Structure 1
Amino acid sequence: MNVRTVRRAVTGALATAAMTAAVLTVPAAAATADGDAAGRHDRHSATRSAMEAQLRTGIPGVLGQARDAGGTWQGSAGVADLGTGRPRLPQDRFRIGSVSKVFTSVVLLQLEAEGRLSLDDSVERWLPGVVRGNGHDGRKITVRQLLNHTSGVYNYTADPGFQKLLGPGFREHRFETHTPAELVKTAMAHAPDFRPGEGWNYSNTNYILAGMVVEKVSGHAYATEIERRVIRPVGLRGTTLPGTSPKMPDPHGTAYTTAGSEDPDTKPFDATELNPSWGWAAGEIISTTGDLNRFYGALIGGKLLPAAQQRELQTTVSTRGQMPGARYGLGVAEIPLSCGVTVWSHTGGIHGSVSLAAATAGGKHTAAFNLNGDWGGDLTALTEAEFCGKAPAADSAARTPERSPQKVMTLR
């Protein structure tokens, strides 16, 4: 089944299927009359429309959850598996790609709050000799610049050889293990993008280095620190760090990829199992929509960081036009929407999985979405629908994540 066939199938059978969407929980203080419940349900009609619109790009299925004062709303469109036709389920797990970065940032900010490092420490202080070569100099780069992508460090996933591993060579190399040192070495073979502090460029290498700093400062594996400091305290029961394991914990659907091919006749294939070590602290985490909402509600709600570090998290820099209108903090982006609402968000793309997590100020309204295909979709439409109640434009299904105003901050 190629991409064109998938699109025809989805536009036909799946796009006309009823989408499951319901209010799952309502706070005790909220009214529970049928009229009020219907009103809460209707508030997500634009979100339902935006989810269904993703299917017209050929995406097999979309999963979403939103939380606000009205309770928790869960919706899905399309299927989790094209072979069986199983619908996507609220408890389904998926790879969140670069949404992982904010977990790594939170750990470093907590370590700073404990006085164990400073955001203004040089990378060289903690990783002597690691960031050197072809103009890179860790003595001139701070930890803060790693987290807000102003370091200028080359992005290892942009390396032509690495691109082949992720693209045409993905089937052959998908189960290989990559070490953080190897990933950084790949980046050091290239010149920096710019001098530290003089530009902005999204670089996965920044967060590989951030994970290495976590380990040097704490004396523990970065995954251990995330589990101890974030996953357990927030109660993220569906969130895991797989390390080198290619397996997905149950329940989960199927992740479909074209491995970056732009050929419309490329046959999407199952990418559910892969060794995510090449993403490590920049993007290996597996989670659920419920856990992402819980995490973003706690983080943007100020429950994970002291006030000083919360301000650091949400102190932003210009993305120099790479994300029009958006500014980037320490692992989260500040994104103004068309209705005047601002959300704190991050997106993530990895083979077969495109994700979004977002929250308004104070974490009062959160939303998380996942697409189980990586060749289409419009995350901006989903965000505008949920937070502004804005139904997607007629042509929104034609957008790819790369052309969307809300650029997918991706591993690939």
Structure 2
Amino acid sequence: MIYCVVDENGSAMERGAGMVPWWSFTKSVIATLVMRLTATGQIRLDDFYPDKPFTYKQLLNHSSGLGDYSFLPEYHRAVANNDKPWPIDLLLEKVDVDALRYSPGESWCYSNIGYLLLRQQLERLYDTEFAILINDVLVKELGLSSAHVVKDKQAFELLEGSVDGYDPSWCYHGLIAGTVKDAALFLHYLINGDILSNEALTQMQSMLPLNVDVGERPWTHPAIGLGLMCNDDNSLHTVGHTGMGPGSVIAVHHFKQQSPKTIAVFTQGQDQAEVENKAVQLAINGL
């Protein structure tokens, strides 16, 4: 297990080292970049995504009605067999992307497809590819020198906990990797107000309560923000994101407590509760 604790002043304490996949913590980065576009007026949260019946806000908080490729047994078989990733058009056809599971805004369903659409719109509006955008913002602007987009099998195999033969293009919204320290620092900078305006940050943390069974995970009042998983409880008030993929899992969460901490925990395996409960333990007790 590798982890890092960042205190309210931005000082980081680490245990373990190595480059790791950030999995769905990538969504928090995508959402942050979308929120920057709202600050410049290029989009508004309540604007409809081009030619679609849902808004940017509904994509960001998974209330768009979109389904997901994670529901397709064919997808999981193809990944397990190390097949070549499907072209995006074929993926959207297999998911039947226009057949919404519910009317936008009327329910909630976690959707990687929604974040694929957001990534595509980022590339159009910033007029650059996702990997360059990540390098410009995370590396050049924020100094998170380890952060990069993983594009192929060879690059993925250099990461901790990698699975032989996995093609990261199966992660359709893009896969950022880096150290756990840089993951924690990104979230620290975000919540500290170093990346977004106060207005945009407040909007990003607007919470939609979720009626879901979290099992052994530590969240007592789970909620979703805009690209952020949250626990809306005064005794455990958190914002962040957990991510999981073949071979490993990562939790990156900020704890709003008397001595705020931002914590990233990574381990091999598929147990999201393990890394989340470790993050809670570190928030309460420290290293």
Q: Does residue 276 of structure 1 match 2:276?
A: no
2:148 alignment partner, SS class = coil
User: Which amino acid in structure 1 is aligned with residue 132 of structure 2?
Assistant: T
Q: Distance in 2 between matches of 1:376 and 1:333?
A: 13
User: Which amino acid in structure 1 is aligned with residue 102 of structure 2?
Assistant: F
- Among 50, 70, 85, the residue aligned to 1:157: 70
1:380 alignment partner, SS class = helix
Q: Does residue 116 of structure 1 match 2:42?
A: yes
Q: Does residue 223 of structure 1 match 2:131?
A: yes
Q: Distance in 2 between matches of 1:181 and 1:304?
A: 33
- Matched residue count: 280
User: Which amino acid in structure 1 is aligned with residue 155 of structure 2?
Assistant: K
Aligned CA RMSD, in angstroms, stands at 2.6
In 1, are the aligned partners of 2:146 and 2:179 still within 8 Å (CA)?
Answer: yes
Q: Distance in 2 between matches of 1:180 and 1:305?
A: 31
Aligned to 1:373: 269
Tell me: CA distance 1:179–1:300, structure 2 relative to 1, closer, same or farther (3 Å). farther
Alignment of 1:327-338 (within 5 A): 327-336=223-232
The alpha carbon displacement at 1:351 in A equals 0.5
Tell me: CA distance 1:304–1:178, structure 2 relative to 1, closer, same or farther (3 Å). farther
2:155 alignment partner, SS class = coil
Q: Does residue 213 of structure 1 match 2:118?
A: no
The alpha carbon displacement at 1:69 in A equals 5.3
Aligned to 1:143: 56
Unaligned 5+ runs, structure 2 = 215-219
Deviation per CA, 1:30-82: give whole Å up to 9, x if none.
xxxxxxxxxxxxxxxxxxxxxxxxxxxxxxxx11111215943322xxxxxxx
- Among 65, 72, 81, the residue aligned to 2:12: 72
The alpha carbon displacement at 1:205 in A equals 0.7
The alignment's TM-score, normalised by the length of structure 1, stands at 0.62
Deviation per CA, 1:349-389: give whole Å up to 9, x if none.
01011001011349941110101222686233213211223
Tell me: CA distance 1:163–1:378, structure 2 relative to 1, closer, same or farther (3 Å). same
2:44 alignment partner, SS class = coil
In 1, are the aligned partners of 2:35 and 2:196 still within 8 Å (CA)?
Answer: yes
Tell me: CA distance 1:330–1:180, structure 2 relative to 1, closer, same or farther (3 Å). farther
Q: Distance in 2 between matches of 1:377 and 1:320?
A: 18
The alpha carbon displacement at 1:249 in A equals 7.6
User: Which amino acid in structure 1 is aligned with residue 70 of structure 2?
Assistant: T
Runs of 4+ in structure 1 off by over 6 angstroms are none
The alpha carbon displacement at 1:293 in A equals 1.4
Q: Distance in 1 between matches of 2:201 and 2:271?
A: 35
What percent identity do the matched residue pairs reach? 22
Unaligned 5+ runs, structure 1 = 1-61, 76-88, 129-137, 256-270, 391-412
Q: Distance in 2 between matches of 1:308 and 1:179?
A: 37
2:24 alignment partner, SS class = helix
Q: Distance in 2 between matches of 1:163 and 1:273?
A: 14
1:247 alignment partner, SS class = helix
User: Which amino acid in structure 1 is aligned with residue 262 of structure 2?
Assistant: T
Q: Distance in 1 between matches of 2:169 and 2:127?
A: 20
Tell me: CA distance 1:201–1:322, structure 2 relative to 1, closer, same or farther (3 Å). farther
Tell me: CA distance 1:165–1:171, structure 2 relative to 1, closer, same or farther (3 Å). closer
Q: Distance in 1 between matches of 2:47 and 2:171?
A: 24
Q: Distance in 1 between matches of 2:134 and 2:212?
A: 32
- Among 380, 388, 397, the residue aligned to 2:284: 388
Q: Distance in 1 between matches of 2:72 and 2:97?
A: 9
Tell me: CA distance 1:246–1:196, structure 2 relative to 1, closer, same or farther (3 Å). farther
Task: Report the structure number with the largest CA radius of gyration.
Answer: 1
- Among 312, 325, 328, the residue aligned to 2:203: 312
Deviation per CA, 1:165-197: give whole Å up to 9, x if none.
23xxx1432xx2344433333322673221100
Aligned to 1:290: 181
- Among 131, 135, 144, the residue aligned to 1:236: 144
In 2, are the aligned partners of 1:154 and 1:190 still within 8 Å (CA)?
Answer: no
User: Which amino acid in structure 2 is aligned with residue 367 of structure 1?
Assistant: I
The alignment's TM-score, normalised by the length of structure 2, stands at 0.87
Q: Distance in 2 between matches of 1:322 and 1:335?
A: 13
Aligned to 2:244: 349
The alpha carbon displacement at 1:239 in A equals 1.2
